Amino acid sequence: MFPSLLHYLEVILLNVLFNSRFPDDPYDRMWQRYENVDGWTDVPNKSNGEIKNSTNDNYDAPSAVMRSASTPVNDSRMDLSWSSDSSMNVGVDPKFFLVLYFAELEAVQELRQFDVSVDNNPLASAFSPKFLLPTVLSGIVQGSNEHSVSLVATSNLALQPLINAMEIYMVRPVNESNSLDANAMMTIQEKFSVKKNWVGDPCAPISFAWNGLNCSYTTNSPPRITALNMSSSGLVGEIDASFGQLTLLQHLDLSHNSLSGSIPVFLGQVPALQFLDLSSNNLSGSIPWSLLEKTQRGLLTLRVDNNPGLCGNNTCNPIQKKRRNKTKLLQIVISVIVAVSLLVLAVFLFVIWDRRKKRPDLAHSTNTFENRRFTYKELKHITNNFNSVIGRGGFGLVYVGCLENGALVAVKMRSETSSQGNTEFLAEAQHLARVHHKNLVSLIGYCKDKKHLSLVYEYMDEGNLEDRLRGQESLNWLQRLKIALDSAHGLEYLHKSCSPPLIHRDVKTGNILLTTNLQAKLSDFGLTRAFSSEMVTHMTTRPAGTLGYLDPEYYATSHLSEKSDVYSFGVVLLVLITGQRAIITISDTERNNITIWARHGLSEGDIDSVIDPRIRGDCDINSVWKVAELALQCTQHTGRDRPTMTEVAEGISESLQLETSSRSMRCSSSGTGGSALADGEPVGALETELIGETSAR
């Protein structure tokens, strides 16, 4: 076929057209009129007929080109000659490929018949062009000397010869693409039935390199493919192994296709890959470690967004889960021993450490961690030299990191200047090591390396509830209820299932973290205290917490009980209902506590004045009222009057059922979809069992 032929015939020497230059060529050839030759004339264009398509003509000379022809005025022969131009650097023994086009334009009575020869070697004898039907003759000649084509009438009786067009190519070996690259590209083209105009060699010649790819051309070796852009190419199916065979590939864009299956590991082994865009596909599974690791080291820019089935943002973390199961027995043993010895002592140990102003030694408590111990160097590695900060707490900065298994983690470093000291660090580590619940953020490991202290948590994709509520895409009422219920379960677990019970002391929307599926987990156990009614230690000297969430009774009396958490949780509920902050700015000088503000509105029976406008039209008002009443009970001034977290969780659960059934009625009556339930579990089956069973009881 002609187009592929073009790939091997690089230089068009000469196009001959006995007419003006013609632009409408399927192969972009530029046809030029051959210089006027004395004794030649145009064949008159008398016929009205169309130039027909000829199966013989693979070279598709445009019809306007074939509409013109030259013939000698008075001679029985035509000679055309050419020699190679020194500027063309043809080498010693150039090869030329020539294509001659013929079609009769006159409805002639007499016979037009001539011999065609190239350098005196016959190409065709007694040849007669057909009326309005192209005939193409082609041949090859070699050598740097002058070459000629001769058309000679077979007899004096015959009409003079004519010719419509001629092309001469110089044949030049091209440096074909590296054969592995070429094979890989052929496979890709075939597998995905690529609809691009991909023919011939992918990289060569340069001017005919395939669309969507870039090659590197060096003098001593075949061209190699360095960039491939198959974005928006309608690719369907799995990512083919052939992509992995393009071993010099630096840039691969497969975005906006319908690729499915998992991201193959071999992509991580393409050594030079610097940019990989797999966004907007239907890929699933997790991101291979090899890719994440390169990303971490700053070697690769990876885009994977908009792949609904893809996890890697911590949602699948098989290694971690496995480890948990394996160590379960160990955990139980540890927890029994620890419960008896270490944990009972924990409070006293803290006091002692505090007094001595000694640096606490984590080695003492290492037994409480079934978690991994990281070195500072490892942390540096997994956080890519602490390059992305995802949060800031009293403790210090929080960085994102990536473990070998691809799980993302949050690395909370204790800063030298942090308001929370080593005691809090230890407290948090201790408590987290003990607690395991799906609604409490889980500790993956810690680091105590000289002066560096840090905690490594599971990473929570959706950040904290506070930010999420303020963000562009807010949460609907059903989502808020589920988050409230999750958080309530987390707190209930701390209060009821831990022994001694734990009081979080810093419950607030900023400490409720969200996963991709908006599952909520309580975090930040830096202020958490063990609490036992038999102990006298529940008198703390320094009430701590966050303004707006702080239990006024505790603040006034320093008497700590789990009801302080209930108060703070009531504030969280009010924030969820109203969308306001815990401290509402009324004017430059005036601020109001959300509890006072909401209580005022609600006591007048006016829920509309306090409800978040973003949920107002999209919620069951009874469901909201129920939670509002619950919030008011939680924020009672006296701890005794507040419900327990178990009661709070029950209340929210009922409210959730109200909302869900009202939503399904709304859907079936209006016939519209859009139920936010789609991604959630059915309410009747809400899980309430605890994942962590290992705390000592």
Ligand X SMILES: *[C@@H]1O[C@H](CO)[C@@H](O)[C@H](O)[C@H]1NC(C)=O
Catalytic residues, which ones?
506
Q: How far is the CB of 519 from ligand X (least distance, A)?
A: 15
Contact assessment for residue 369 and residue 433, using Cβ atoms and an 8 Å cutoff: yes
Contact between 185 and ligand X per CB under 6 A = no
Interacting span for ligand X (CB under 6 A) from 304-312, 377-385, 502-510, 543-551: 304-312
Contact between 219 and ligand X per CB under 6 A = yes
- Residues 308-347, interacting with ligand X (CB under 6 A): 309-310, 312-313
Applying CB under 6 A, which of residues 24, 146, 305, 681 lies at the interface with ligand X?
305
Q: How far is the CB of 206 from ligand X (least distance, A)?
A: 7
Q: How many residues bind ligand X (CB under 6 A)?
A: 34
Burial class (CB in 10 A: 0-12, 13-18, 19+), 128: middle
From residue 617, alpha-carbon distances to 236, 275, 469, 662 in Å are 41, 45, 17, 13
C-beta closer to ligand X: residue 58 or 558: 58
Contact between 217 and ligand X per CB under 6 A = yes
DSSP letter for 650, please.
H
Interacting span for ligand X (CB under 6 A) from 44-52, 435-443, 495-503, 558-566: 44-52
Q: For the chain, what's the residue count?
A: 697
Cα–Cα distance measured from residue 487 to residue 475, given in angstroms and rounded to the nearest whole number: 15
From residue 255, alpha-carbon distances to 225, 282, 302, 308, 406 in Å are 19, 10, 11, 14, 21
- Residues 6-35, interacting with ligand X (CB under 6 A): 19
Interacting span for ligand X (CB under 6 A) from 88-96, 215-223, 594-602, 675-683: 215-223
Residue type (1 letter), 204:
A
Q: How far is the CB of 174 from ligand X (least distance, A)?
A: 6
Q: 237 - beta bridge partners?
A: 259
C-beta closer to ligand X: residue 227 or 469: 227
Q: How far is the CB of 304 from ligand X (least distance, A)?
A: 5
Interacting span for ligand X (CB under 6 A) from 219-227, 291-299, 350-358, 438-446: 219-227
Contact assessment for residue 57 and residue 136, using Cβ atoms and an 8 Å cutoff: yes
Alpha helices in 34-104 (DSSP H): 63-66
**Residue for token pair 């909302």:** 659
Applying CB under 6 A, which of residues 35, 48, 472, 678 lies at the interface with ligand X?
48
Q: How far is the CB of 228 from ligand X (least distance, A)?
A: 6
- Residues 508-567, interacting with ligand X (CB under 6 A): none
Applying CB under 6 A, which of residues 184, 267, 304, 627 lies at the interface with ligand X?
304
Contact between 388 and ligand X per CB under 6 A = no
Q: Is 294 labelled a binding residue?
A: no
Q: How far is the CB of 220 from ligand X (least distance, A)?
A: 6
Contact between 179 and ligand X per CB under 6 A = no
C-beta closer to ligand X: residue 82 or 217: 217
Q: How far is the CB of 30 from ligand X (least distance, A)?
A: 17
Instruction: Record the tokens describing residue 263, joined without a space.
Output: 């991201």
Contact between 284 and ligand X per CB under 6 A = yes
**DSSP per-residue codes, 416-477:** TT-SS-HHHHHHHHHHHHH---TTBPPEEEEEEETTEEEEEEE--TT-BHHHHHHSSS---H
Interacting span for ligand X (CB under 6 A) from 116-124, 216-224, 358-366, 447-455: 216-224
Q: How far is the CB of 526 from ligand X (least distance, A)?
A: 25
C-beta closer to ligand X: residue 47 or 657: 47
From residue 420, alpha-carbon distances to 17, 271, 298 in Å are 87, 44, 32
Applying CB under 6 A, which of residues 32, 189, 247, 260 lies at the interface with ligand X?
260
Interacting span for ligand X (CB under 6 A) from 190-198, 217-225, 446-454, 557-565: 217-225
From residue 458, alpha-carbon distances to 192, 411, 446, 482 in Å are 38, 9, 12, 21
Cα–Cα distance measured from residue 408 to residue 313, given in angstroms and rounded to the nearest whole number: 6
Applying CB under 6 A, which of residues 4, 45, 183, 301 lies at the interface with ligand X?
45
Applying CB under 6 A, which of residues 141, 182, 227, 413 lies at the interface with ligand X?
227
Judged by DSSP in three states, 159 sits in: strand
**Interface pattern 50-89 for ligand X (x via CB under 6 A):** x--x----------x--xx----xx---------------
SS3 string, 225-255, reads: EEEEECCCCCCEEECCHHHHHCCCCCEEECC
What are all long-range contacts of 391-394, with beta carbons under 8 Å and residues at least 24 apart? Answer: 391/463, 391/464, 393/420, 393/524, 393/526, 394/418, 394/419, 394/420, 394/424, 394/526
430: closest CA among 354, 356, 517, 335?
335
Contact between 641 and ligand X per CB under 6 A = no
Q: How far is the CB of 22 from ligand X (least distance, A)?
A: 9
Contact between 258 and ligand X per CB under 6 A = yes
C-beta closer to ligand X: residue 195 or 451: 195
From residue 325, alpha-carbon distances to 11, 21, 341 in Å are 69, 79, 24
Contact between 274 and ligand X per CB under 6 A = no
Q: How far is the CB of 570 from ligand X (least distance, A)?
A: 30
Applying CB under 6 A, which of residues 115, 238, 449, 461 lies at the interface with ligand X?
461
Contact assessment for residue 627 and residue 644, using Cβ atoms and an 8 Å cutoff: no
C-beta closer to ligand X: residue 58 or 664: 58
Query: Which of left, alpha, beta for 131 (phi over 0: left; psi -120 to 50: alpha)?
Result: beta
Applying CB under 6 A, which of residues 231, 290, 497, 499 lies at the interface with ligand X?
231
Cα–Cα distance measured from residue 511 to residue 491, given in angstroms and rounded to the nearest whole number: 12
Instruction: Record the tokens describing residue 683, joined without a space.
Output: 């309410």
Sequence ranges of the binding site for ATP: 412
Which residues form the interface with ligand X (CB under 6 A)? 19, 45, 48, 50, 53, 64, 67-68, 73-74, 174-175, 212, 214, 217, 219-220, 227, 229, 231-232, 251, 253, 258, 260, 282, 284, 304-305, 309-310, 312-313, 461
Sequence ranges of the binding site: 412
